[in-house]
Structure 1
């Protein structure tokens, strides 16, 4: 989901999604019965206002403490509020601020997506790291994970000489067509670790190699880039592009790499889910499309909304724009699922993890309220799953999802947070 700074674009997309949902049969519009799962716990609410430190929940990553799984952690982005670290009871363990603006009037730091790197060598020792996109400064930031550290489990080890990912200068950075979505990948053939990074309001993906320095820092270098399509040829011979504000292209945010085969899945928000090689070579394949795919629409500047035409029926049946958080559930023998947040109808779609099965759709689910005090997940931005035992609280693994509308709220203040769901319950729902 886009930030408050792009509120007009959000309104346009939601208006189009709502118009389509009202025009489609209930089952096609995502209202068909799907199994429900319920959160066990939730993190404290975050508020994207001055009193709340401009904190807005976005994307989580689960770090497993192999020595003591009960002390595993969830690292999560809070946009301008920086990073939050939670324990498995969803209690706050550490809060790290985003960087201040480079100069007065420049964009402040804004952490968008986060992922983990395991066992990378730094200063002669192997360690795990959290990597996040700092959308405000168009950079990556890297944090070493050490649960025994006295000042908190995360320590910033970003190379201060790390360059902007996409921008040539501060003026371009302030335009905020900057580092956005993120997935990490370690190539088993070379042992080198990478970050796959998308660009806000553009279709560009960049492959960045993470480069440890001699003084115990981590930088990065661009290996190559790839541009996904922004315009699509439809079966009737016409050309279609998703409706957006003038100058905006259909961006990617949610991404995940399958470490077993080096496959990258990238969610182009208003288009669908792409499958491609994590080294950005070869030809991308569109695994599934959003329902709105192919629907003609025109942006109306007066209303700041997209006015949709007749649906020609070229879209998918499982996803309602935006496609957001993507995560993998690994199972023995290469089995498992690719999970995708269908943000427009508050559902999650599950696809077969095996490329040989062409990522066949396997079902879906909703994260619904567990009680009056513990709500579900709506307009989910980010998600992460780990199919490993995590101590007494989550012995069957964990799914963490962002909730874009945490309830009950605090008066008129819009709240977001993260829900922790027993992964065993999710797998049972998908197996039924």
Structure 2
């Protein structure tokens, strides 16, 4: 019997071997090879990060691609490194800037821990406007905001977070230190009003908060809460039984990966052990469970000694495309509403694509894996975060770029777990999805 295990994100996931075995069991004999998703290979990778004292407790998690409109060849990738803060890379995956996370406010308090990052374009600040990188800080339960200046000399990111920015989910520093704090993140700008928003999920709960970003004097940025929404934590199965994903006592099935389609005002939210939800980005209306993970409905019992969930018999209520955790949601926007929603299927190290055409279907359109290009340049495993941009990025990526986190960078340095990011030519991804 295989056991559910805890992933790096802290959610309970299914062992990859269990997910792959289940998927293979559903395939007729002799058909398995043809059902394998096509492979794409990365063109570049960042330097490895190490989540230990020597490595500054840096752990790669989530990227965002910023296009320099004046010089696309000088475009940047901004990525989170958890307690290691932010990393900024050029299109060759070389580090341009390292931004430290905030120190703990006092001894015994949690230090800054940057989880997810997304971009806001053209927000009015003072007498001008700026592009911003917004990150969720799990350690302080706040948003941190950085102005992006890709044309000026020196470091491209400047911290413009208002010092009075409030906690998002906590009411005291004691609550912050309990770590039920800001986790997943997606941003969008309402085309009708010009107002910019951040959607932030709460660690170890099903809650999502909608925050409006606000400009403050001196070119700083703060935010105010508009509303919150709680996704379900218990589900009725087709046989009328009730099921909840297994986890540590007191923890709910959390959301991390999120993406907003600004043209339709739609939020896609990955509830890691459940599936992908589709709902209004303003958190009104009724959420729809667009796709379920394969492990949906599998009963399991949490074993405290091993920190594992021991699964029972699979009743067969799960989906067909994604293996838990579902992570790394990103929107591949093409002309006239075309394109794909991409999701990381951590349990089988794959990426799944859904049709973005303006309809309510969002049909499954296949997928791919990011595999090794060479012995020195490996693929992506247990991907936590991803970002895609279908716009020309100079001579390096004239068709666009996909950046994915790699949860197991190779070769590893002894027993040190290594993470990083892989850069993939978008033309290769589109070819794979057209197969």
Aligned to 2:196: 193
TM-score where L is the length of structure 1: 0.96
Instruction: Please give the secondary structure, in 2, of the residue aligned with 1:194.
Output: strand
In the alignment, structure 1 residue 269 sits paired with structure 2 residue 263: no
* Cα deviations by residue, 1:7-63 (Å, 9 ceiling, x for unpaired): 6956x5344x54454455355699841100000000010000001000000000000
Structure 2: distance between partners of 1:70 and 1:405: 29
Instruction: Please give the secondary structure, in 1, of the residue aligned with 2:408.
Output: coil
Instruction: Please give the secondary structure, in 2, of the residue aligned with 1:236.
Output: coil
Tell me the number of residue pairs that the alignment of Structure 1 and Structure 2 aligns. 427
Aligned residue among 374, 382, 385 for 1:382: 385
Aligned to 1:25: 24
Structure 1: distance between partners of 2:234 and 2:41: 39
Aligned to 2:401: 398
- Residues 335 and 354 of structure 1 are in contact (CA less than 8 Å); yes or no, is this contact kept in structure 2? yes
Aligned to 1:281: 284
In the alignment, structure 1 residue 237 sits paired with structure 2 residue 240: yes
- Residues 38 and 367 of structure 1 are in contact (CA less than 8 Å); yes or no, is this contact kept in structure 2? yes
Deviation at 1:348, TM superposition (A): 0.3
In the alignment, structure 1 residue 170 sits paired with structure 2 residue 173: yes
In the alignment, structure 1 residue 127 sits paired with structure 2 residue 130: yes
Deviation at 1:326, TM superposition (A): 0.4
Structure 1: distance between partners of 2:177 and 2:362: 39
Superposition RMSD in Å: 1.8
For structure 1, the 5+ residue unaligned runs are: none
Structure 1: distance between partners of 2:395 and 2:326: 33
In the alignment, structure 1 residue 66 sits paired with structure 2 residue 65: no
For structure 2, the 5+ residue unaligned runs are: none
Instruction: Please give the secondary structure, in 1, of the residue aligned with 2:378.
Output: coil
Deviation at 1:148, TM superposition (A): 3.0
* Cα deviations by residue, 1:183-214 (Å, 9 ceiling, x for unpaired): 00100110000000000000000000000012
Structure 2: distance between partners of 1:120 and 1:191: 8
- Residues 9 and 245 of structure 1 are in contact (CA less than 8 Å); yes or no, is this contact kept in structure 2? no
Structure 2: distance between partners of 1:306 and 1:355: 39
Is the alpha carbon distance of 1:66 and 1:205 closer, same or farther for their aligned partners in structure 2, counting shifts above 3 Å?
Answer: same
- Residues 28 and 317 of structure 1 are in contact (CA less than 8 Å); yes or no, is this contact kept in structure 2? no
Instruction: Please give the secondary structure, in 1, of the residue aligned with 2:176.
Output: helix
Structure 1: distance between partners of 2:162 and 2:59: 26
Aligned to 1:143: 146
Deviation at 1:150, TM superposition (A): 3.2
- Residues 9 and 304 of structure 1 are in contact (CA less than 8 Å); yes or no, is this contact kept in structure 2? no
* Cα deviations by residue, 1:67-121 (Å, 9 ceiling, x for unpaired): 1000000000000000000000000000000000011010110000000000000
After TM superposition, the structure 1 = structure 2 runs for residues 8-407 of structure 1, keeping only pairs within 5 Å, are 13-15=13-15, 18-19=17-18, 21-22=20-21, 25-26=24-25, 32-407=35-410
* Cα deviations by residue, 1:123-164 (Å, 9 ceiling, x for unpaired): 110110000000000000000000133330000000000010
Structure 2: distance between partners of 1:302 and 1:26: 31
- Residues 8 and 305 of structure 1 are in contact (CA less than 8 Å); yes or no, is this contact kept in structure 2? no
Is the alpha carbon distance of 1:20 and 1:348 closer, same or farther for their aligned partners in structure 2, counting shifts above 3 Å?
Answer: closer
Instruction: Please give the secondary structure, in 1, of the residue aligned with 2:359.
Output: helix
Structure 2: distance between partners of 1:237 and 1:117: 44
Structure 1: distance between partners of 2:168 and 2:392: 36
Structure 2: distance between partners of 1:6 and 1:379: 9
TM-score where L is the length of structure 2: 0.95
- Residues 13 and 305 of structure 1 are in contact (CA less than 8 Å); yes or no, is this contact kept in structure 2? no
* Cα deviations by residue, 1:377-412 (Å, 9 ceiling, x for unpaired): 000000000000001110010000000000011121
- Residues 39 and 421 of structure 1 are in contact (CA less than 8 Å); yes or no, is this contact kept in structure 2? yes
- Residues 6 and 308 of structure 2 are in contact (CA less than 8 Å); yes or no, is this contact kept in structure 1? no
